[in-house]
Amino acid sequence: MNEETEQLLAELERIVVERQDWLFRFAYMRIGIREDAEDVVQEVLLNVFRRMLEKMHVESVEQYVIRSISNACNDYFRRKPLRMVPLDKAEEVPVHEGDRQIHEEFVRVNKLLDALPQEQSEIVRLKCYDDLTFKQIAELQDIPEATAKSRYRYAIMHIQQMLKKKGE
């Protein structure tokens, strides 16, 4: 193994350490199954490494990682539509004791966003849960930044109204 590949492995290790929990949260909040979410994360990180090996120019590794995990989650649902967890059944999904808390979180957030159109709920997830900026969201969704902001505002209003109704 030469020095260059050693450096690439070290770079990969750094990315894994820094990003694995964020990537796992991103995947888990959409998939709801730990094993599958980790498989998706693993595949994304290996794709990043392959890119590095091919010396392909990746303008921003950060943006590439975000786009990869988003695409990987979409591909997951395209490949395994039967494994999607319906929200009303999500609470019944058996989880390890250690995962009970994150599973409850998955159910809680998805219940809040369930009534929204998919394009809005995804923007809220990206903004609030994944902590992306509107610029990053716009790039990821291939939409103008103003559209991303508008969808977000509308989604928040929708949730406000929904919560008010529940309160009444």
Partner 1 sequence: MNTDNINIPEEDFNEGLEDIEQLLKPQCEFKASNTLKEEVLAQAREEIKPRRKVNGWPWMAAACVVGFSLLWFTPPEEKKADAALHAHLVRAYDMEHAKTACVSSSDRMNTYESFEDIERRMRSKGEALIANNQPITSYN
Distance CA 71, CA 23 (A): 12
Give Cα 14 distance to the centre of its chain: 20
Residue with smaller CB distance to partner 1, 78 or 166: 166
Residue with smaller CB distance to partner 1, 17 or 82: 17
The amino acid that residue 133 corresponds to is T
Rounded to 10 deg, the angle between the 3-31 and 100-113 helix axes is: 60
Least distance to partner 1 from the beta carbon of 140, Å? 16
**Short-list 160, 129, 162, 133, CA closest to 149:** 133
Return the CA Rg of the chain: 18
Least distance to partner 1 from the beta carbon of 149, Å? 10
For residues 156 and 147, the answer to whether their CB atoms sit within 8 Å is no
Residues within the interface to partner 1 (CB under 8 A)? 1, 5, 8-9, 12-13, 16-17, 20-21, 23-25, 28, 34, 38, 41-42, 45-46, 49-50, 53, 101-102, 105, 108-109, 112-113, 117, 120, 124, 128-129, 147, 150-151, 153-154, 156-157, 159-160, 163
Residue with smaller CB distance to partner 1, 25 or 72: 25
Least distance to partner 1 from the beta carbon of 105, Å? 5
Residue with smaller CB distance to partner 1, 67 or 129: 129
Residue with smaller CB distance to partner 1, 21 or 88: 21
Contact partners, residue 81, CB within 8 Å, separation at least 6: none
Least distance to partner 1 from the beta carbon of 61, Å? 15
Least distance to partner 1 from the beta carbon of 73, Å? 15
Distance CA 134, CA 32 (A): 25
